Amino acid sequence: MTPRLTDPRRRPEPIVITGIGLIASVGDDRESVWRAVRQGQSGVRCLRGLPGFPSSLSIGAPVFLPPEFPGQLKSVALNLRVAEEALADARLDLVQIDPHRFGCAISGHMGDTGWFDERRRHLVAPEARDVPWWHQWFPNTACSTVANRFGLAGPRLCHSTACASGLIEVLSAARSIHDGQCDLALAGSAEAFHPLFAAGFQAMRVLAHHDDPRQASRPFDSGRNGFVMGEGAAMFVLERLSHARRRGARIYAEIAGGKMQAEAHHVTGLDAESDALAYLIRHTLRDARLSPSDLGYINAHGTGTQQNDVVETRGIRRALGRAADRICVSSTKSMLGHLVNAAGSVELAITVLALRDGFAPPTVNLTDPDPECDLDCIPLIGRRTTMEHALKISVAFGGHMAAIALRRWPEAASQLGYLERRAA
């Protein structure tokens, strides 16, 4: 098949989402996670007995997922699970798909230092010693494993861009389709709790603490004191519109536009003036050919740290002007925790489902809004709302920033989302 090169004088053919896989602390598949998020259920629990930490640490409840073999990285298992769900949801017959036209973009991950230590001490089960060393240490293990499992021979991409990784993989996959390198792609990311990550965040004093772990994550609230770590994963099937239509695919939404941006300010600190974030949002909307008033919902980065929530609010207001007063904004980290590498993909999946069902999920624990976070952050209870466009924002350590604008597909309602099924 001859690659379809993009004519720079014409607007590229739309890229659409036809499959979603999702797992998090509140559910083990797409619809159960979405149902829990709609209802404002928290998956945050208390982790006790971790050496070097306070007597208890609030985290998003670990996702139970048995490994396929001793020593398998949990992040790899998570990616495989959601990739399988996304492919099934897209109703793809891989036998009928040209594998050289099917790309894969999955973000990098940490290795398993605990497994390495056990192996070094000869305490691991004999069969686990057969696990290749690269499985434990290469940050692209999940990407190569998923692509190999499903026989995907198109572009293979893997980025490590902290909390923006999930969105950047989706944008990179979309770019590969636009550039004519493939017709469809799997894109997403996963995160598994690791004590080394937790130790770093604890040293930075950004982890939240509360007597009730379910109330620890409080984005945009005056009483916020940090974020809660979490586990989970999300994966998308992205397709060129003509490819999706040719095979009669169901479509969730169009990736109307997206941008990546850098904040040349500090590794972990944010520019208080929010210049880069405002620029990112404005140019994402320009790429999507949208005006601020077109947006109905924003899934914010919303970590619950003192700095992020104020700076993000400021950036949204600077970019959208008066329209910001009429847009629903929420942080689902209040329920799931901060999934770091998987934050962007999991929250993008929730944003797509919010568009599908016309329902803006809540920011739980928002009982005393910070006056400096003066957006409509949907406190405590979600809201039915009419919306055709939504925006997902990710702001990461290292200055990485990304945003994706979504357009609800006109036929999405016919797919009988959660609200429609319940009413049927």
Given this model, what pLDDT does residue 372 score?
96
Domain 15-398, CATH homologous superfamily name and number = Thiolase/Chalcone synthase (3.40.47.10)
pLDDT at position 382 is: 97
Q: What pLDDT does 85 receive?
A: 98
Which residue among 301, 328, 377, 400 is the active-site one?
301
Which one is catalytic: 158, 163, 328, 377? 163
pLDDT of 226: 85
What's residue 419's pLDDT?
38
Cα–chain center distance at 176: 19
Q: What is the pLDDT of residue 119?
A: 58
The reported pLDDT for the residue numbered 360 is: 98
Confirm whether 143 is a catalytic residue: no
Parts of the chain with a pLDDT under 50 = 1-9, 413-424
Question: Residue 71: what pLDDT?
Answer: 75
> What pLDDT does residue 350 have?
98
Closest CA relative to residue 241, chosen from 284, 183, 185, 170: 183
Domain boundaries, given as residue ranges, for the chain = 15-398
Selected catalytic residue, list 243, 338, 389, 400? 338
What local confidence, expressed as pLDDT, does residue 7 receive? 47
**Tokens encoding 203:** 């040293």
**Residue 338 among the catalytic residues:** yes
Q: For this structure, is 301 an active site residue?
A: yes
**Cα separations (Å) of 205 from 183, 209, 305?**
44, 10, 10
**Residues 325-378: pLDDT tens digits?**
999 999 999 999 999 999 999 999 999 999 999 999 999 999 999 999 999 999
